[in-house]
Amino acid sequence: MARKKTITREQILAAATDGFTRFTARNIANKMNCSTQPIYLEFKNMDDLRQALFEQIYDHLQYEVFTVEHTGNTIIDLAFNYIHFARREKKLYRSLYLEEYGGGKEMQNFSYTYFVNTVKRDPAYVNLSEEQIESLYNGTWIIATGIAALMSSSIIHPTDEQIEKMIQDSIDAILKFKEPIEID
């Protein structure tokens, strides 16, 4: 009779999320107090595990983190949610957004697509050009990332009102620019 599987796919993904900064089968197995065998029984290879992990993270961000309404302004709410995520999940935030080996470029692409699609659906921004939306993303992304990184490191402690004002002032300034903000 075959042994009953005691370690599930969900447990592996949870351990991989917790240990995201050191993403190896051995480190994940150590975190779970098991061998690497259960990992390779559930996933073909580490790329397969990484892809499943990113899909889980994308779903979490898309349906639970980024959708919370704070002010009624889509862009400000997205910035708040990003900043709050950075404060709550410091290690995961740093791994996902600030360190390339963790997924920096992939997460930026995901966040850009999510931002653009969300802003385009908002009646307040429906008449903006693609260039204006991209400028809003680039400008508010840099501001929000700076605030998030500094807050998650306990360097600054702005109030929600101060954060809202910084983001709103950025939006207002960006929409006045004649040339788009382009970042490579």
Structure tokens at 59: 């779903």
Same domain, 108 and 159: yes
- Whether residue 58 is contained in a domain is answered as no
Domain count, the chain: 2
Same domain, 79 and 137: yes
What are residue 7's phi and psi, to 5 degrees?
A: -115, 125
Q: List the domain range (segments joined by +) for residue 48.
A: 1-52
Same domain, 47 and 125: no
CATH number at residue 5: 1.10.10
- Whether residue 60 is contained in a domain is answered as no
What does each of the 184 residues of the chain score in pLDDT, given as a tens digit?
Answer: 556 667 888 888 887 776 566 678 898 888 889 888 988 999 999 889 988 998 999 999 999 999 999 999 999 999 999 999 999 998 888 888 887 666 667 888 899 999 999 999 999 999 999 999 999 999 999 999 999 999 988 999 999 999 999 999 999 999 998 777 777 7
- Whether residue 159 is contained in a domain is answered as yes
Q: What is the pTM (predicted TM-score) of this model?
A: 0.84
| Alpha-carbon span 182 to 138, nearest angstrom | 7
| Alpha-carbon span 112 to 58, nearest angstrom | 12
